[in-house]
Amino acid sequence: MKSVALAIDERTPHGIATGIARLITTGDLAPGDRLPTVRQLAADLGVSPATVSHAWQTLSAAGLIMSRGRSGSFVRIEPREWLPRRYRGIDGGQDARLDLSRGTPDPELLPSLGPALARVGARADTQSYQAKPDIPELHDLLRDTWPAPVESITVLNGALDAIDRALAALVRFGDRVVLENPTFPPFIDLLDHYGLQAVGVDLDAEGMRPAAFAAALGTAPAIVLLQPRTHNPTGISMTAARAEQLAGILDRSRTAQHTIVIEDDHSGAISSAPDVTLATWLPDRVLHVRSFSKSHGPDLRIGAIGGPRPLVDRVVARRLLGPGWTSRMMQAILHELLTHPESVAQIAAARDAYAERQAALATAVRNAGGWLARGDGINAWLRVADERSATVQLAAVGIRVAAGTPFQLGEGQDPYVRVTVGALRDEVEAVGAALAVAQTA
């Protein structure tokens, strides 16, 4: 085990953790490899066992190593191998003092379900197989609040369910799909599942870069998959001007005359940006997805997809061979949450709270000498000098963030981490300072 000690330049807890992390990154330590004991490495380095123990705790918090009791500590093997590949990459390790890695809403900012359940009572139809899939009052409300006139809408079990069913109905093996780079890791897993080729488009502060989007359309894609607001992981929301520009590029493209756009508005109700869709200019080519999981409750598992009737009908027809419909009880609860003054006020308060947290953290990072763009929604995208070193540095002070690699397409991408700003209720200045330090770690 002398080789491990030789790889450590700085004999502090952080220096030891960074050295071990470097060995894991380069592959000199492989998944499943046994690490030296605390006492053995402490003797090799000439430090106290407590110093090495603190380094081990940091590596464990960063999800790089795991303890097997008396058997020792080992480099962590790929977590949960049954998970899709990119899901594994964002699967967390041990509990952290501040877990800012998961991309989930703050439970304290979700509307109360109890009153809605009491008000709905027995009104929802839970008895019939023959009733319409969507309850009329929710269907009408969705149509009235859709970002552009729409021919057909149906309710599904959340955004990812809607996108999965749309892809299943619209693509063939080997088709190309244009999407943002970085993007939501399960999108990449979905494309892999269907045998599709991802074509990434870089972003600026307003959305997909027009020149890069035009170049991507040259590959004759079957689908453009984008997130118009609160983009995960960057927190970017597309402007109306950029949406119009992208719609024009798509409309004029000779190689993308049959390309369909799927928009994932997964956090629209807690977005501070105006509602936007390419369907305003391309109504016959856009499927817009709206989810309420981030705003109203993940366990509701409810969203909707709307667009041209022939496209939506294909999604509905495929669903008939599976669950058939989304629980009408859940639909009734969502309708109650979307219309009752109390829950409407709670969502408005959550939207304001997330915006304040985004602004406060961006300011705190800048005050500490770093830089972080103020995002929209619950996530922010932090440029760092080295992804592995940054995650270890933050884990050492009890903060977990998501490594950026699973969100990125292709090799040799710039190093980033995703920070779930929405989970940050306090300690903003301390977290901002830690993130600023991690940018140069």
Tell which wins on pLDDT, 392 or 322.
Answer: 392
Distance between CA atoms of residues 174 and 254, nearest Å: 20
Q: What is the DSSP letter of 158?
A: S
Residue range 112-124, pLDDT digits in tens: 888 888 777 655 5
pTM: 0.84
Question: CA distances (Å), 239 to each of 209, 243, 299, in order?
Answer: 12, 6, 30
Write down all domains in the chain, each with its CATH number in brackets: 2-75 (1.10.10.10), 85-109+344-438 (3.90.1150.10), 113-342 (3.40.640.10)
pLDDT at 327: 87
Please, which pLDDT band fits residue 29 given cuts at 50, 70 and 90?
confident
Tokens, residue 96: 């952290």
Residue 321 clears pLDDT 60, i.e. is over it? yes
Q: Is the pLDDT of residue 87 over 70?
A: no
Q: What digits encode the pLDDT tens for the residues 185-223?
A: 999 999 999 999 999 999 999 999 999 999 999 999 999
Q: What is the pLDDT of residue 56?
A: 87
* Range in 66-70, 150-154, 177-181, 409-413 the model is least confident about: 66-70
Q: Specify the pLDDT at position 329.
A: 87
β-sheet with 260-265: strand ranges across: 152-156, 303-307, 286-291, 260-265, 223-226, 176-180, 197-201
Q: What is the mean pLDDT of residues 410-433?
A: 94
Residue range 275-289: mean pLDDT, rounded: 98
Matching residue, tokens 């590959």: 219
DSSP H helices, 131-226, are 136-145, 159-170, 185-193, 210-217
pLDDT value at residue 82: 52
Other Cβ atoms less than 10 A from the Cβ of 106: the count is 17
| CA-to-CA dists, residue 231 to 103, 185, 378, angstroms | 11, 12, 9
Among the residues of 228-292, which ranges form H helices? Answer: 240-252
- Burial track 17-27 (b if 16+ CB lie within 10 A, e otherwise): bbbbbbbbeee
Mean per-residue pLDDT over the chain, rounded: 90
Is it the case that residue 165 has pLDDT exceeding 70?
A: yes
**What's the DSSP call for residue 313?**
H
- Strands 197-201 and 176-180, by their bridges, are parallel
pLDDT tens track for 30-39: 888 889 998 8
Residue 339, beta-bridge partner list: none
Is the per-residue pLDDT at 1 higher than 50?
no
Specify the residue for token string 């000690």.
5
